[in-house]
Amino acid sequence: MLHTTAANTVMKLIFFMLLCVVNIIQAQHVDPSQNRSVTCRPFGACEPCPLDALHEPFCHPFGNRQLMHCSNTTIPTTTRPPDEPYPISPPPGALGETPAWQPCGRVPAQERADFYEFVACNLFFAAVAIAVSLFRSRRIEAHQARRLAVRIGLVRGGG
């Protein structure tokens, strides 16, 4: 009895493996009459993403995107009949282009503008800090001079 159960289990396992192999072969089957692919080429410069598109994957990691024109380059491998030496219309895959976006690096003009803005803000904060420091030190010096004058009796009371 144990021997038949083991044989039964082995048969089920072989059958299951055979089904898996058939499924994998069927999934890899490619239609030989069609060679499908998409070709994309850059069109335009890298530009910042608008605020409503910043969550899109093509806006990561720098928040910039570049327009791409993608065309279907499906090439049928069937031969033309001899009575039609030249095609009347282009193949169905070559009619149009689909616009798409791809992520791109930093925009040099935008980075330069951001750098100058950073430098200008730092200069402004430095100027304000120096002005406040000078005002404070002059005020402290004047206060100390008044205290010294009172101490040595240069300031006389109205009495």
Name which of 95, 47, 90, 54 is nearest 68 in CA terms.
Answer: 47
Give the pLDDT band of residue 1 (cuts 50, 70, 90): low
Is the pLDDT confidence value at 117 over 60? yes
Does residue 108 have a cis bond before it (omega within 30 degrees)? Answer: no
96 three-class SS: coil
- What's the pLDDT at 24? 72
Residue of 128 and 155 predicted with greater confidence: 128
Structural domain includes residue 101: yes
| 98 and 113 within one domain | no
| 92 and 118 within one domain | no
| 94 and 37 within one domain | yes
Is the pLDDT confidence value at 32 over 70? no
* Furthest C-alpha separation in the chain: 128
pTM of the model: 0.42
Q: What are phi and psi of 129, to 5 degrees?
A: -65, -40
Structural domain includes residue 5: no
Domain extent at residue 137: 107-153
The radius of gyration of the chain's CA atoms, rounded to the nearest angstrom, is: 39
DSSP 18: H
- What's the pLDDT at 97? 73
Q: How far apart are CA 16 and CA 74, in angstroms?
A: 36
| 147 and 136 within one domain | yes
| 97 and 111 within one domain | no
Residue of 30 and 59 predicted with greater confidence: 59
Portion of the chain with pLDDT greater than 90, in percent: 23
Name, in order, each residue with C-beta under 8 angstroms of 74's C-beta and a sequence gap of 6 or more: 34, 35, 36, 37, 91, 92, 93
**Number of structural domains, the chain?**
2
